Structure 1
């Protein structure tokens, strides 16, 4: 197989979940009596199909006229009749796509974030991709379109970039970010060299940014919404489209848009996915898209990164520090007897704080009515799920929960889909032992908004903007190159870090900015 190219694929539904690395399908509420589909119509049949949809009780959710399609919600019982209507090309599920990144809270990550809060730092990924080795004056400014959750345009490290955008999410505006993921991605591409925070791959405004916002706080969006954003990128004359998102299922309509715009010269780059399996994520699995895998600071493949024949290139995606809006992410807090402890918020725990006496609730494996009334439950990990422990505390009258680890390391837990009303946090095993000696003392525990401007994330979401940023940086020196030639040059100049030659985990290897520029200077575009 020629480097930089992938065989065409038909739409495949893979037996893996689209819930990856913290993004939950539960975030998108569905009505089981109705279905949301994309209806593609034949040329000249738009009005006829729209009329048929209305007659069947359907409602049009998105007009995808660029690709002869509409997104429709209609009663499930009417789906077969819809498919039989004249003028219809095909009907497909309006699949859900999710962000491919999640916050990292390791000790090392916290140190890196703390450093960024005090003085400008260079994230390890910038060095690994050689962005800090590129010198000279670019000849033009490519435009990178980021399809994500928006951007905090007022952020100290993002303000000053050339920005424009459009909002498709129904939440805020394109220059706000209720999820933090989009701002994190944007920072990796273009955080400014301005003596604060971090620097991005294009720290000196070598690219401009177009923000196509598709995600709200949930981090989930339908393929029809993403398709509208893709076409907006095309109308904005973007040169590169960066997509830190994915689904286990392909959308034919989204593929139509990508293939059409790719032929017009746009370079598409997307996350390979975070399931840690051989499953293919879309749109990364499309031939018109560069699929990006994640590696860590030691250039080792990240075990959450999906690996398959479509993976084309790799970039840093573990403990990547970048820009986030203040007070969008949350943090766990705990103090007992006036002493503060470092704790991690339980995922999906309610954002609230309480102050109450600390009480030993053992393993929390059985509720005892009234035993924890008005108290903060101190609970050991083990025997049952975190959610069940918190529910048992709550049922016993507890107002907050602290679960401590039964092994070394941070305790990162989740409530999953269980709804709880009390705040819950995770503590280390060592702190748990200390807390047991403080039972009866006043404890303040909670999940609170995090005012930090920088955060560490894991995911192929984080690897993708490294490649998008490098593509823009390299292209800024060679305006005569095409998008496909830039793609090929990046693949051919990548640092081989996995098995010799191309491999499924890291593709051609680690993307390299200076090596790509040197190669083009020596051999020309696309060689």
Structure 2
């Protein structure tokens, strides 16, 4: 089984946010100035200035002992850092229209074998592909659509992405678009456009290398950005000719700069789509909360609401967002392996396990709460419960065990983590059913371990968002004369209603459906 990333905190793979300043990879000294938090007595704000007054504002900021941190692309605005004591004076300046916080933005993470129709054999088809009906529509016309992905980059050398028509640019803060230190952007891109190539990996919603991609990288290795950078990135998407902007990202506060930017883009005929958030509460995240942006919630493989998915009146559509298998930069994922005797099992990866394998007789290690020399030189089978995973695996290692399997104490699979504890033996997780079966195989040779992979399972509204963006592009490619507003209306009216009848806070109008949307336009026309 490929590595599965559990839903992480806001600073890793929680929401899928993209926005502003990120690490400057080519110049460490400049990076500290570009993306570090302001000094305690300083504030980082966005200043909207009157047209033609950029030079005046730059001189004013310098005179106030401040710094220009980011000039927003195609807008009369810039992000600056100045002493808090001068903010009032700056706000009263006749050349300034308004000042607002430059808010931070953060990134937000099941298959069947292909039967050969419509995808080539030797690949895995993530459950979301069928759930959104992408397997029922050809993407032969998708070349007339371009999706702009604002995220952490794109591994253009990936075996499942390299044949796509993808463009991007260099950014002084985050580096080249075709690098991805956080893995998040490459995972998002795979859901949209992993290639239908026999014997390799997975497939995306638009799987035949027709769809055009433009990558704007706002997240570097530190995994967050400012809203000023998000506004710039969105404007760059427009300049690149994008029809759709996919943003697996967000943050808790809104501002006028973003709001105005996305309203302008929507008026220009661009479909803006963003993740609803991963905090599992009623809070609204932005940019998803703006009226010009489609807010996307997450469901699991059973079409049930994902408990981490934020729910509120802004949620408009839902997409698959639990256990989504997709691409990550080559070799950066993990695949768990487990065999006992002649039996092969489908384990989960234990986050923090070393990438290695071990083979030895399988032995009973109970719940793993004590050291037991009887398992020396063996693979420990451990039941979940009572003590944490790190203690269980550490006790196995300290007993002389060479590998550890932690099996569930309730039905179903699960993901585990060792946290900050470092172990030298490989460890994986297993279902309760598999653990019960292995209890009848004590003494048989067991191979357990973690191998490097080019794919990974992620959870999050970040994963739901590219499903919706990709379906929008797929359907729109059949009827490119439809407007963005008409496509938005069609997607909501053709969605599979889930939860309470009609629009609700968890699913919005429902699960996005490609064929139903295409059929609706064929029958009723654009937007009806």
- Tell me the TM-score normalized by structure 1: 0.76
Contact 1:95 1:251 in 2 (8 A): no
Within-5 A mapping of 1:350-365: none
Match of 2:100 in 1: 91
Deviates more, 1:55-64 or 1:284-293: 55-64
What SS is found at the alignment partner of 1:159?
A: coil
CA distance in 2, matches of 1:446, 1:171: 34
Within-5 A mapping of 1:165-244: 165-168=168-171, 170=173, 173-197=176-200, 198-244=202-248
Match of 1:458 in 2: 459
CA distance in 1, matches of 2:354, 2:501: 48
1:351 and 1:37, CA in 2 relative to 1: closer, same or farther beyond 3 A? farther
CA distance in 2, matches of 1:53, 1:360: 68
CA distance in 1, matches of 2:403, 2:46: 48
Give CA-to-partner distance per residue, 1:389-431, whole Å, 9 cap, x none.
Answer: 889999x999999583562455533455x47586774544776
Contact 1:24 1:218 in 2 (8 A): no
Runs of 5+ unmatched residues, structure 2: 1-8, 24-34, 372-377
Q: CA deviation at 1:287?
A: 0.3
Give CA-to-partner distance per residue, 1:162-204, whole Å, 9 cap, x none.
Answer: 2111244855621233333222222222233333443322223
1:280 and 1:125, CA in 2 relative to 1: closer, same or farther beyond 3 A? same
Deviates more, 1:307-316 or 1:123-132: 123-132
| Aligned alpha-carbon RMSD (Å) | 4.6
CA distance in 1, matches of 2:421, 2:53: 46
Match of 1:79 in 2: 84
Match of 1:61 in 2: 69
Contact 2:104 2:224 in 1 (8 A): no
Within-5 A mapping of 1:137-176: 138=141, 141-168=144-171, 170=173, 173-176=176-179
1:399 and 1:249, CA in 2 relative to 1: closer, same or farther beyond 3 A? farther
What SS is found at the alignment partner of 2:169?
A: strand
What SS is found at the alignment partner of 2:478?
A: coil
Contact 1:206 1:476 in 2 (8 A): no
Give CA-to-partner distance per residue, 1:145-165, whole Å, 9 cap, x none.
Answer: 011222222333323322111
CA distance in 1, matches of 2:43, 2:447: 45
Within-5 A mapping of 1:281-430: 281-330=285-334, 344-347=348-351, 349=352, 404=406, 407-408=409-410, 410=413, 412-414=415-417, 418=420, 425-428=427-430
Deviates more, 1:134-143 or 1:491-500: 134-143
Match of 1:3 in 2: none
Total equivalences in the alignment: 493
Contact 2:15 2:248 in 1 (8 A): no
1:410 and 1:129, CA in 2 relative to 1: closer, same or farther beyond 3 A? closer
Q: CA deviation at 1:250?
A: 2.3
1:153 and 1:45, CA in 2 relative to 1: closer, same or farther beyond 3 A? same
1:470 aligns with 2:471: yes
Q: CA deviation at 1:433?
A: 11
Q: CA deviation at 1:120?
A: 3.1
Q: CA deviation at 1:312?
A: 0.8
Contact 2:368 2:382 in 1 (8 A): yes
1:350 and 1:518, CA in 2 relative to 1: closer, same or farther beyond 3 A? closer
Contact 2:275 2:461 in 1 (8 A): yes
1:271 aligns with 2:275: yes
Give CA-to-partner distance per residue, 1:94-132, whole Å, 9 cap, x none.
Answer: 313223x2xxxxxxx47769x999713443322222223
CA distance in 1, matches of 2:59, 2:399: 56
Match of 1:370 in 2: none
Q: CA deviation at 1:282?
A: 1.4
Match of 2:59 in 1: 51
Deviates more, 1:458-467 or 1:172-181: 172-181
CA distance in 1, matches of 2:275, 2:370: 42
Contact 1:169 1:214 in 2 (8 A): no
- 2:49 aligned residue (38, 42, 61): 42
1:424 and 1:194, CA in 2 relative to 1: closer, same or farther beyond 3 A? closer
What SS is found at the alignment partner of 2:58?
A: helix
What SS is found at the alignment partner of 2:253?
A: coil
- 1:248 aligned residue (234, 239, 252): 252
CA distance in 2, matches of 1:210, 1:59: 31
Deviates more, 1:49-58 or 1:78-87: 49-58
CA distance in 2, matches of 1:258, 1:340: 50
Runs of 5+ unmatched residues, structure 1: 1-16, 102-108, 368-374
CA distance in 2, matches of 1:276, 1:328: 28
CA distance in 1, matches of 2:511, 2:15: 26
Contact 2:357 2:426 in 1 (8 A): no
